[in-house]
Structure 1
Amino acid sequence: MNNNLTEYFKNTVSGFPNKVAIDDNQATMSFSELNKISDQIALEIVSKTKDSRQPIAVYLPKNRWSVASFIGIFKSGNFYIPLDIKSPGERILKIIETLNSSWIITNYEHKENLINLGYQGNIICIEDVVSNPISEDAITKLEQISNSIIDLDPIYSIFTSGSTGDPKGVLISHRGVIDFIEWGISTYDITDKAIIGNQVPLYFDMSVLDIYLMVFTGATLHIIPEEHFAFPIKLIEYVNEKNINLIFWVPSVLNNVSNFDAFSVIKPTSLTKILFGGEAMPNKHLNYWRNNYPNALYSNLYGPTEITVIATYYIVNRTFKDDESLPIGKACKNTQTLIFAEDGKPVKKGEMGELHVRGSLLAYGYYNNSEKTKEAFVQNPLHNLYPDIVYKTGDLVYENDLNEIIFVGRKDSQIKHMGYRIELGEIETAILGIEEVGNSCVLYDDNQKRIVAFFKSKKTGVEIKKELMLALPKYMIPTKWINIEQFPLNANGKINRLELKNML
């Protein structure tokens, strides 16, 4: 086992120097080219900075240069932070302020954006770096740096927003990524023959699986053009054209294929492994995929950013009704899941509680934010004999009779209505189980004290409500129904609940 990601990448480059590593639909980059460019980036960083293990942000579009920058940064002994070039300037400046970082990698085009935002730190432009020569002494220097990196050193920080809206930088170690990717390779039998179709933005933690399966195995990574995901038929055509056989997408994208009945026009020809995560996967839409494309492996992956992408997984191995909840399964290797009631005591099987996670995939916490870290990363409630940190996910779950974990909803989406405790996710699942309902999102209107259902269907709210009353008690039935043709999505491809909330 290697101690850091540089060593894994070095072995892959040695084994597959001329193979395509990345195809971003603009150009391709072989492993040897990716190695050279990331070396040039690393050497530029080393020549301009004094310390290692420092945050270096990447402000670039989603393409091969971003991935090369990530690799160059960890080769330099530092850790990277992907920034969203479409994010509001105020949020970018908040992240930079939290990092207290004086270095950002970008290109000529986006350098002007940073300056206009008021950024006064140092900028490294990709165009200035890729022509730099690499001497033997420089290679020796990078090898020395690689030897100094241990698996507990940070490799990246991805910023998420909490309930306050302030970005929090989740800090992940080399060990977290190594354990996660080695688990993924073993669980899903990933080899250099994998052709990966990336969907999520590179500042979203799900992209870690796509990038590092490439780094570890010699698989080819295709960065699918963002605009294709709005057109399911065009998306499947692209997947077939590139012979993509492995995807890890958010359910909303898979649901879109189902809603448009894209398989009546075209079906995948190369996909063998279909992984999904980031939000709940409705069985109605999964059943559409499984019925129309039955020979692929389907797997539900669950995990907050704070747990190096994934904490639990479920390989779909039985049939489900449309209105059933899909399990999030069992814990990944070297990960333990614990479910606690509100009083801090473990729940019994079948009882709902908040999911806590411990293991080597756990993040260090939030960069430069000890207060928020202490709130979410806590001592294991089972004992106080030695430091044993667990992460409070804020997710409500229970364990079924098959020892599978079932996700119910967010703790902060659990409401008290008419004296009852209600999980809005349970209502969503029931609505999605009704025939001809394409999508659903259920929110609580705090001002009017009512449950509101957004839905996409040819049926009316009255018709859906009538059917829903056969599945749920009266106090859980939404009192306001809004039929929406197109659900707003955030940059990660998930339903934008905040935008829907503003419509109330």
Structure 2
Amino acid sequence: MAYAVPSQPLITKNRPGRTPDDPRPHGLAAALPGTPPLLPQSVDEHVRAHPHATAVQGESDSLSYRALDDWAAALAARLTATGVGNRDTVAVVMEPSVAMVAAVLAVWRAGAAYVPIDPAQPDLRVAAVLADAAVAAVVTSPATEPRLRAVGRPLVVAHRPEPAPQPGPAAEARADDPAYVIYTSGSTGEPKGVLVTHGQLAASTAARRLVYPGAPAFLLVSPLAFDSSIAGIWGTLSAGGRLVVAAADEVRDPERLVRLVGHRRVTHLLCVPSLYAVLLDAADRAGPDALQSLDTVITAGEALPETLLRRHFATHGSRVYLVNEYGPTEATVWATYRRFTGPAPVSIGGPIPGGRVYVLDDDLRPVGRGVEGELFVGGAGVANGYLGQPEATEKAFLPDPFDATPGARMYRTGDMARWNDEGTLDFLGRRDDQIKIRGHRVELGAVDSALRAVPGVRDAAVLPDETRTAMEAFVVADQAVSAESVRLELSRQVPAAMVPARIHVVPEFPLTVNGKVDREALRRYAAHPTPAPTAQPTRDGATAQVAAAWAEVLKVADVPVDVNFFDLGGHSLTMFQLQGALERRTGTRPSVVALFRHTTVAAQAELIGRGGTDAGPVDDPRQAVVERARAARARRVRA
């Protein structure tokens, strides 16, 4: 495949002589040198060459490359014994851990493709993905195994291996074999699996190795079901680097995350900009050397605010690169990148090595510089399509008329962009009803459909906020239906990112003269709601201060003392903001873990009264929402 010169120079280590980026607007990048090795082969080479080098580290444990391979081999033997074979799919339903990494490598050794599923997903969502992917088996952890006993698939629990008999040889992957299937939100609410082959993953990872040379110490903060985990796991292990896996409770607590960066001497970090912002907050409190080991910070999954870009360089100077990546799951994680060496206008840069990007008009013709068009992605990383959905695949994956390679295709992203005067891409948002919630793609139509399926809801309309990073829902429902009951029922059907931040129950929808829902009227209602008269219990000083902090963070006027933070629209990132708001208003800064344990105003007021200290097991707030939904449903059935 022939390409023009690279759209921007690759990252190198000769920092004193670095030159500014020099991207060009043609949308083609340099060809990858030769045929990239497949990832199982790359990892195996490091097992043989550096068996005792550290491959994966967790909160308190680590594995060498040899130990990782031995664990994967033992798990692969157990998968094979259940009947798993070439080109099968195997679900991996596990919390972030070193065992999780061994599990995905085991699936490959057995000749199958892995289907990552976040254990925090509701049971119905997990069951829908298992059925759609037709998985042959499920690999899980001891903690999650009880939830999966009824799924009707063989379960393999990823215990640490005992001294095992000599495992059989690993299955040999081919370029056109499936490597993994990651599920996204479909427009109807049904999950939609993106199928990526070993060849496509090899091309994407080879590009990553060129852009980020060397063997990184990479901090993985993404769940396995989030496609940026692909970049972290395989970009690191294929380079002979060291993968540091943050546990779920570490990701929730930015102070602990900052300590993990220092303790494990992390050099590379990839996360959504909103998480990076709270990480910088925690680093400010920890002191100037807190993030001293970092070499490169990568942001992706959300639009990068220019204020955050400037803050990055105010914190680190030019010592730490900031790279803004863009790319849909359908293009194997990433398609463009922009490396920043100092404050500059934000863009998503140009194509990755071996990649192609086009800005096209409605007739699929290239537009000129400064002209808005739809962004299309071509090149070796374009995925096969959607598993079992030929019509959706045909609509989104088109023949590439600009690439002479036989069978070349391009992916229609639905994102709007333009080439700017620098020759890089400005991202302009969506042309449809898709938005990004904490890095997750969410179709507004899918949320509409899910809300209408809630018992007692007659109609629903979902609006994005001005930044298109949060949602507000309006439902017309039976008299007995409340916003809280709608949220609880919805939370057991869909992922947390698809639950709107705020839900309003209205008697009817305002209509335009054409008979359509008047969305502007709904926006005005949301800005100035009519509060329902409620009798509030007497609030002491601490309770009033905590309620005021909630109102500030959640942007609501009325805060009941006994309603769960997550039922009022909170999520993990707003919990970080709440921590700061509580400190400003009460002078006490509880740990984020303590706030996750105490999720009502009343409970947090008691926590503040004790000086913010607490002990006990950590509950996953998303699972708590599911459990409350189950209890509410059981009460309705009994009634």
TM-score by length of 2: 0.62
Within the candidate set 160, 164, 173, 1:133 is matched to 164
- CA drift of 1:187 comes to 1.3
| 1:386, distance to aligned residue in structure 2 (A) | 6.2
Change in CA separation of 1:228 and 1:65 when aligned onto 2, cut-off 3 Å: closer
Which residue type is aligned with residue 338 of structure 2?
Answer: Y
> Is 1:59 matched up with 2:83?
no
3-state SS of 2:278 partner: helix
Change (3 A) 1:175 1:263: farther
Residue of 146, 167, 185 corresponding to 1:161: 185
Counterparts of 1:360-439 in structure 2 under 5 Å?
360-380=380-400, 387-413=407-433, 428=467
Q: 1:171-320 counterparts in 2 under 5 A? A: 171-191=195-215, 194-258=216-280, 262=284, 265-266=287-288, 267-294=290-317, 295-320=319-344
Contact 2:88–2:136 (8 Å) recurs in 1: no
Cα 1:2–1:428, aligned 2, differ >3 Å: closer, same or farther? closer
Question: 1:262: Cα distance to partner?
Answer: 2.3
Asked whether the 8 Å contact 2:182–2:194 carries over to 1, the reply is yes
- Which residue is 2:443 aligned to? none
User: Partner residue of 1:470?
Assistant: none
> Following TM superposition, by how much is the alpha carbon of 1:411 offset from its aligned partner in structure 2, in angstroms?
1.4
Q: State the alpha-carbon separation in 2 of the partners of residues 494 and 165 from structure 1.
A: 29
1:223-280 Cα offsets, whole Å, 9 max, x none, are 1233334444443232112211111111111122456782684441110111110111
Any idea what the Cα deviations from partners look like across 1:281-308, whole Å, max 9, x if unmatched? 1010121111121111110011011111
Distance verdict in 2 for CA 1:32–1:349, change over 3 Å? same
1:110 counterpart residue number: 144
CA distance in 1, matches of 2:219, 2:301: 16
1:121 is aligned to 2:153: yes
Show the counterpart of 1:345.
365
Residue 11 of structure 1 aligns with an amino acid whose one-letter code is E
* Alpha-carbon distance in structure 2 between the residues aligned to 1:451 and 1:327: 33
Task: Say whether the 8 Å CA contact 1:357–1:390 is kept in structure 2.
Answer: yes
In structure 2, the CA distance between the partners of 1:297 and 1:384, relative to structure 1 (3 Å rule), is: closer
What amino acid is the match of 1:364? N
Residues 439-450 of structure 1: pairs in structure 2 closer than 5 A? 447-449=518-520
From 44, 47, 51, the counterpart of 1:13: 47
Aligned match of 1:336? 356
Report matched runs for 1:447-486 at 5 Å: 447-449=518-520, 484-485=553-554
Contact 2:336–2:352 (Cα < 8 Å) also in 1? yes
Residue identity matched to 1:362: V
Structure-2 change in CA distance of 1:318 and 1:171 (3 Å) = same
Match for residue 63 of structure 2?
Answer: 29
Closer, same or farther: CA 54–385 of 1 in aligned 2, 3 Å: closer
What's the CA shift string for 1:117-146, capped at 9, x where partnerless? x4112212223x8236232xx44x33xx32
1:40 to 2:71 alignment = no
Residues 55 and 79 of structure 1 are in contact (CA less than 8 Å); yes or no, is this contact kept in structure 2?
yes
Partners in 2 of 1:11 and 1:425 — Cα distance?
47
Instruction: Choose between structure 1 and 2: higher strand proportion.
Output: 1
Deviation readout 1:427-460 (Å, 9 max, x if unpaired): 649xxxxxxxxxxx9xxx964426969xxxxxxx
How has the CA–CA distance of structure 1 residues 45 and 233 changed in structure 2, closer, same or farther, with 3 Å as cutoff? Answer: closer
How much does 1:55 deviate?
0.4
Q: Please identify the structure whose Cα radius of gyration is greater.
A: 2
Return the alpha-carbon distance in structure 2 between the equivalents of residues 450 and 381 of structure 1: 44
Letter in 2 for 1:351: V
Deviations 1:330-352 (A, max 9, x none): 00111111111233332221111
Hey, what does 1:76 align to over in structure 2? 110
Query: Secondary structure of 1:109's match?
Result: coil
> What residue in structure 1 maps to residue 24 of structure 2?
none
Shift of residue 412, structure 1, vs aligned partner? 1.8
C-alpha contact (below 8 Å) 2:95/2:247 kept by paired residues: no
Distance 1:111 1:63 in 2: 15
Q: Once the 2 structures are TM-superposed, how far is the Cα of residue 318 of structure 1 from its aligned partner?
A: 4.7
Unaligned stretches of 5+ in structure 1?
416-423, 430-440, 454-481, 496-504
Distance 1:4 1:90 in 2: 34
- In the TM superposition, residue 170 of structure 1 has moved relative to its aligned partner by 0.8
Output the CA distance in 1 between the equivalents of 2:355 and 2:405. 20
One-letter amino acid matched to 1:412 = D
Q: Is the 8 A contact 1:40 1:132 kept in 2?
A: no
Residues 132 and 374 of structure 1: CA distance in aligned 2, closer, same or farther (over 3 Å): farther
Contact persistence 2:96–2:246 (CA under 8 A): no
Offset at 1:111? 2.3
Percent sequence identity over aligned pairs: 24
**1:133-191 residue CA offsets vs partner (Å, 9 max, x unmatched):** 232xx44x33xx32xx2122111111111222211111111122222222112212222
How many residues are treated as equivalent by the alignment? 431
**SS at structure 1 position matched to 2:143:** helix
Distance, in Å, in 2 between the alignment partners of 1:329 and 1:412 is 23
Q: TM-score, normalised by structure 1?
A: 0.78
Unaligned 5+ runs, structure 2: 1-34, 436-462, 469-500, 502-508, 510-516, 525-550, 556-568, 578-639
CA-CA distance at 1:489 after TM superposition = 4.4
Letter of the aligned partner of 1:133 in structure 2? A
- 1:134 maps to a residue whose letter is P
